Amino acid sequence: QLQFVESGGGLVQPGGSLRLSCVASGLPMADYEIAWFHQAPGQEREGISCISRRGSPTNYANSVSGRFTISRDNAKNTVYLQMNNLKPEDTGVYYCAGTGCAGRPGSWFPWTSWGQGTLVTVSS
């Protein structure tokens, strides 16, 4: 079973940047499309970015397009999320999961179990 461990979260001021990492284990990550999901406080988890097996194409939610960049290093079994120009509404827990990247983010249904996630807090 494909499993993930997320890291890289923390406290950052508005306008700042963070880079999240997601390390996979259990199965060859290179065989799967991977997405990042965001769960804001008191809200449902939602997909924000997805990457295909070889790194292109990628797909982004409107809320993060132009600010976030997803990438992957299959040799390291790791997916990254570079987050720039962070906003308070980006606060929450970030998870990665195996899913199909086709269609809108609302249609991404993960087939892997959720990890612990990593907490991002954007506040001055």
pLDDT digits (tens, 9 = 90+) for 23-55: 999 988 999 999 999 999 999 999 999 999 999
CB-based contact 24:2 (threshold 8 Å):
yes
Instruction: Name the β-bridge partners of 4.
Output: 24
CB-based contact 78:21 (threshold 8 Å):
yes
**pLDDT for 59-88, tens place per residue?**
999 999 999 999 999 999 999 999 999 999
Q: What is the pLDDT of residue 78?
A: 97
Residues with Cβ within 8 Å of 71's Cβ and at least 6 positions away in sequence, in order, are: 51, 55, 79, 80, 82
